[in-house]
Structure 1
């Protein structure tokens, strides 16, 4: 029964920049044969892996961001592990490295199928200061995969190098491209992505506004919505 599937912690990155028609976000398309959200356009992201807990960040999360991430259930990943997962997923799925110049303290963490070593080879150490935690959602029961996903909004100016160069991306997402918020709903989007995009639009219109982090909680029998203060 899919209702019995474990809920995996996950991190998602909404990278944005100013474009000719206003703010743009980076999106890619999942494969038609993917087990979760096939053929949908999504933000880069994925599950937290054990090695993410060993990553040392060159620059820390903002205090408020860290405090809100720490409202997770006891025993879950740390705020730093969630930030590291977000940075790693962005790197693997787009080839864009959110970091600062520097040398890793020791060897980069090793985990099967992941590429912290490739990140380090660029002479960068992950930096989390650009991450803003803006949304949290737990996948409802009955899906092929279930995640407790934290969504981070990140300005493209936080990424060193050419933000149009996706040559180092994996094949997990295709059709990587920047698209204006005014056009993005023409894509085939998951429902939760549309909800998150609405929150992104509100924030980018008024970055100083802070009503807390929306949380769609489907962990129990009755879905609930609240805001993390």
Structure 2
């Protein structure tokens, strides 16, 4: 977690009304492998000079363009079919790795909360590393790569050595709970994708909170409301996830 990321989500710092920011379609690949210490995910570090999540560690991904939709045989750039092609293309462009389009399994769909000057509707796909290959980044948009266990990523995030956006952090937590690549893929195949439309607020302690559907405060965007919990709290010692049974 970083101060840069917290300021970007603070509702008090909103510069652009939500109605004036057009959503852009995007896609990302949560590429996984089973390592000696448990499940590992590929993370890429974005160029610190980039305006959107500069310096953050992210899964490979980017915008869905018209060519992705054309390859998918659809005119809908926001749909899952075009997003699959975009995710596969971005994996090759950013990490020089190949994942067959048909092997990408929908995991979740995130919509950037109001506030930032850029907002995305992003499909997250999970996939297994097809074969052992070296990751090669372009040195321009992407500056570094690492295969990490969720536990290692969380520790580095808490130590402020790795900037993770809430969707990245929460996705790592979800795959960690399942424990293996096969379990993640089986789970993804057996259910509909998770849907997230975060609303950003502050709780009674003043901590920044990402509210998700199912939280008592989500309908109004008020993190101080009593009731069911489904939220990510930006605590001093790192993120803290709360969800009611």
Counterpart position of 1:20: 36
How many aligned positions are there? 176
Equivalent residues of 2:78, 2:121 under 8 A apart: no
Partner of 1:39: 55
Structure showing greater Rg: 2
| Residues in 2 aligned to 1:79 and 1:136: alpha-carbon distance in whole angstroms | 10
TM-score (norm 1): 0.68
Distance 1:95 1:17 in 2: 16
Q: Judging changes above 3 Å, is the alpha-carbon distance between structure 1 residues 80 and 41 closer, same or farther for their aligned structure 2 residues?
A: same
Query: What do residues 106-163 of structure 1 show as CA deviations (whole Å, max 9, x unaligned)?
Result: xxxxxxxxxxxxxxxxxxxxx3221111111100011131000110011002xx5x42
Question: How far is the alpha carbon of 1:76 from its aligned partner?
Answer: 4.8
Q: Which TM-score applies when normalising by structure 2?
A: 0.64
Does the 8 Å CA contact 1:11/1:150 hold for their aligned counterparts?
yes
2:115 aligned to 114, 125, 142, which one? 142
What is the distance in 2 between the residues matched to 1:91 and 1:23? 22
Unpaired stretches in structure 2, ≥5 consecutive residues: 1-15, 157-161, 200-210, 215-245
CA distance in 1, matches of 2:91, 2:64: 12
Structure 1: how far apart are the matches of 2:42 and 2:212? 29
Structure having greater relative contact order (Cα 8 Å, sep ≥ 6): 1
- Asked if 2 retains the 8 angstrom alpha-carbon contact of 1:45 and 1:86, the reply is yes
Does the Cα contact within 8 Å between 1:214 and 1:225 map onto a contact in 2? no
1:186-197 equivalences in 2 (<5 Å): 186=156, 187-197=162-172
Q: Report if the CA contact (8 A) 2:150-2:173 is conserved.
A: no
Unmatched runs of 5 consecutive residues or more in structure 1: 58-73, 99-126
Please report the RMSD computed on the Cα atoms of aligned residues, expressed in angstroms: 2.6
Distance (whole Å) between structure 2 residues aligned to residue 183 and residue 201 of structure 1: 11
